[in-house]
Amino acid sequence: MNWTPGAHVSLETDSYTIRNLTGADITPGVLDWFKDPEVMAHVPLPMDLDRKYFSRYLKTQDNTKIFILAIVERATGTVVGYYHVGYIPEFQGARTAVIIGERAHWGRNIVVETRSALIDFLFNDVNARKIVGAVNEANAPAVYNYKIQGFQLEGIRRKEGKMRDGTWVDLYQFGLFKREWENQKAEREQ
């Protein structure tokens, strides 16, 4: 992909397009995600976010250090979730987080499929050397998604996460180096 810092992002997988989230994507249906206790169970954001929040949030996106990328179902054009990626060029380190708001897409390997494309983009186009992410200790599906993609558990951030009921929980820190990703892909292709 011929991408330069600051340029629009558009990635394709079999079932999804990953491209910059825009204001036009913030439909009432998307805002409903943030009212759903199950969707928001492990999301460290306030419930009931509104268009004003997203208007401010989307202005932070510069496609150099901050990427906010919609996950769009190719068959329908529906936005089903989005990634937040923070990149620090000085350290070539990227941090990713994802929310899949459309429950109908849970259990379809959506994160594995779309994050694989995102990982390739970050390593090959953005020039990251390492990608990290953190997950709430109780979020078993998210732990699975990191492990199945070869992320290594690097540490436990003690009682740094908070459940909706106010309970403090550990955050598990996962990391993936470029060479680990490349080795994994090479093994799969054998």
Partner 1 sequence: MSLSIDKARRLIAGALNIDSAEVADDASMFSLDAWDSLGHMNVVLGIEAELGRSLTAEEIITIEFVQDVENLIADGSQKSFDH
Please give the Cα distance from 14 to 12 (Å, whole number): 7
**Closest CB to partner 1 among 124 and 184?**
184
Residues between 56 and 115 that touch partner 1 (CB under 8 A): 106-107, 109, 111-112
Which listed residue (141, 154, 167, 185) binds partner 1 by CB under 8 A? 141
Question: According to CB under 8 A, which one of 1, 47, 88, 140 is a site residue for partner 1?
Answer: 140
**Contacts with partner 1: how many residues (CB under 8 A)?**
19
Compute the residue count for the chain: 190
Does 172 help bind partner 1 (rule: CB under 8 A)? yes
The residue from 137, 163, 177, 180 that contacts partner 1 (CB under 8 A) is 137
> How far apart, in whole angstroms, are the C-alpha atoms of residue 57 and residue 22?
10
Q: Which is nearer to partner 1, 66 or 138 (CB)?
A: 138
List of E strands, 120-186: 130-136, 152-162, 168-177
Q: Are 74 and 56 in contact (CB under 8 A)?
A: no
Which residues bind to partner 1, rule: CB under 8 A? Answer: 106-107, 109, 111-112, 137-138, 140-145, 147-148, 153, 169-170, 172
